Chain A
Amino acid sequence: MMDMQFTDVGGVTKAVLVGRLDSFSVGEVETRFVANIVPKEQSAVVDLSEVSFIASLGIRMLIGTARALQRSNARFAMFGANDAVMEIIETTSLGEIIPVVDTEDEAIAAVSA
């Protein structure tokens, strides 16, 4: 199961994901995730510090959101991934598509540059 929270940090949408982003939970949360980020047409950052696993469908959700924001000239970044999630990000080279940094401040800076 996965929980999500959304806040606005100075004109940047911040999403906090908690739990496993596996193929079952993606089906449950994807619509809400996209609906809370993409229509605002503003840059967004995602806190991954409480995410324990990302399956390929979760990666698809993140890439799809990043590309949708790109069409609105907005940016997307992620931060706080633990070692297990970083291994997945590195294996899939997701970091070459979406910036992945350590802290929220770095993520905000990355989408605000």
Chain B
Amino acid sequence: MTEADNTQVITVARDLDLIPGDRLHCLELIDCVDVGRRHVVGPLGLKIGRTPPADIVLLDSEVSRTHCFVALTANELTVSDLGSTNGTFIDGVRVEDPTPLPVGSILQIGKRSLQHEYRTRAEIAESDELDRELQRASAYIHALLPPPSREGPVRCDWIHVPCARLGGDAFGYGKLGDDLFVAYLIDVAGHGAGAAMLAVAVMSQLRQRTLPDTDMHSPAEVLTTLNRLYQMEDQADLYFTIWYSVYDARNRTLRYAAAGHHPALLVPPDRSHAIPVGTRNVIIGAMPGVSFKEAVIDIAPGSSIYVFSDGVFEIVDKGGKQWALGDFEKLILDPPIAGMGETQRLFHRVRDAATPGPLDDDFSLVVAQFD
């Protein structure tokens, strides 16, 4: 369950028709794809808190029960903190006294962020429809993802948190035959329904093992076929990166290949280090007729492999530092937390390290544990 799923939003009787004016002041949650994320601020203002009777209820432990109030006066919004424990912030600056909330600025409360938008009714209707489309696309991708596997020689768990604009991440895993297990993750460059559609198209072919004239046991062959089928000129200038592997439980070997994608990280049972598992190949769709390299690695008993999209580590932290793969690797090697799954642990660690506000890209992470 994502953080956005944990947010319960209650709107009081606030029918748009009862609020005067052609343009309306809106507070819009910017870290989720949800048509319920927009709240129109009427003449009575809005109270924000963790529990009712707040008008906007945010189920976040860092939000106080009665956190802040947003008033509409003289066609401007003003924010007052109501004695909250963790403070109310506008564009990163703590609110001490009643403070104007300019159009476009971001109101941060706990881990949640709301943007002030000033929209016409037509824009609101159009934006609502776009949100619905993105929500449907997001739900569709989610429905195609495999359930966690808790038995067998490879056990997998995952987390997929789409960004507000919906990225193009997708992944899958499963049996490819007796003692053979396939796993892959694709990341389409771009956001929105277009990127999601391409991700779904590729994932569907990989799920059904229906690539033409292709040995699905050979990562290099799979990548070669995908590159032939999905050249960017034929795909509205979209391309994607991929990490693909086949594990043979009989001899404990993993065949793998990556195209434009950073390596997965293999962690031995003692968690002393992480071994990059990747190959350098061009992005799928960027250049026709190229050949792809694959490699093989032995898997020690009790190892884990972490497969993820770049949205997992390409963040800017609170100190303003742009993260690279090595920063995420350090988090992986930290000790597990009792009672919390690895995927949740890493999501919360990254979320806590990143600058406030929504993550810029989809967060997709698959952790596979070998016997």
Contacts and interface: CB of A to CB of B under 8 A. Distances in A.
Interface of A: 20, 22-24, 52-53, 55-57, 59-60, 63-64, 67, 84, 87, 90-94, 96-97
A63 B283 contact: yes
A28 to B, nearest CB: 14
Contact of B283 (A20, A22, A23, A93): A93
A57 B189 contact: yes
B282 A96 contact: yes
B190 A92 contact: no
Given A60-B239, A67-B232, A97-B283, 7 more contacts: A24-B360, A53-B314, A59-B283, A93-B260, A93-B281, A94-B283, A96-B282
B57 to A, nearest CB: 30
Most chain B CB within 10 A, of A84, A87, A91, A92, is at A92
- Label chain A's interface by main secondary structure: helix
B232 A63 contact: yes
Interface string B238-272: 11010000000000000000011110000000000
Contacts of B325: 87, 91
B286 A97 contact: yes
B28 interface: no
B317 interface: no
A16 to B, nearest CB: 20
B237 A60 contact: yes
Contacts of B189: 56-57, 59-60
A23 B360 contact: yes
A56 B187 contact: yes
Contacts of A53: 314, 322
Nearest to A20: B322
Nearest to B191: A23
Contacts of A60: 189-190, 232, 237-239
